[in-house]
Amino acid sequence: MEELSARLADQRIRNRVIECLEYLAEGDDGIRATGDVEYFESFFDWVADNRPWDWRANSAYTPAEVNAVDRVHSALLAAVEETRAMDTAETIASGWPQRIAPIARSALDLLVQRGRFDEDQEESAPSR
């Protein structure tokens, strides 16, 4: 089995972040589809909540994309603090999914505008 290069790992992670942004951009419908735990945790699987220096160094992001994802990251951290003991319905009632949605939509639009990377070959720019 061939070893995964750091660049290819970065490309795959960026693609996974796009997938997370898709449901975050849906607001209440996004959290209903994923549930309250997965709503937050899937994003933090790819964008570490406690190690921002790691994800910001991803070679597949542009500086503008890092800034956009960072805004989502900050909003989600704030939401986690306020909704930690809440279930899905309570989190929806808190208004956080609707506040996060436009921030996530903006980041999603930026990343999708550039495209998705190939998952099997290193690329300098997205091909999909």
pLDDT tens-digit readout, 32-71: 999 999 999 999 999 987 776 678 889 999 999 999 999 9
Query: Which residue has tokens 């956080």?
Result: 96
Give the residue with greater pLDDT, 91 vs 48.
91
Classify the C-alpha dihedral 33-34-36-40 as positive or negative. negative
Task: Say what the pLDDT of residue 52 is.
Answer: 65
Percent of the chain with pLDDT over 90: 86
> What is the band of 128 on the pLDDT scale with cuts at 50, 70, 90?
confident
Is residue 76 a contact partner of residue 100, using CB atoms and an 8 Å limit?
yes
**Mean pLDDT score, 92-117:** 98
**Sequence ranges of the domains in the chain:** 6-114
Task: Say what the pLDDT of residue 49 is.
Answer: 79
Is residue 118 a contact partner of residue 127, using CB atoms and an 8 Å limit?
yes
Tokens of 39: 């709503």
Global pTM? 0.93
Could you give the dihedral angle defined by the CA atoms of residues 81, 83, 84 and 86, in that order, rounded to the nearest 10 degrees? 170
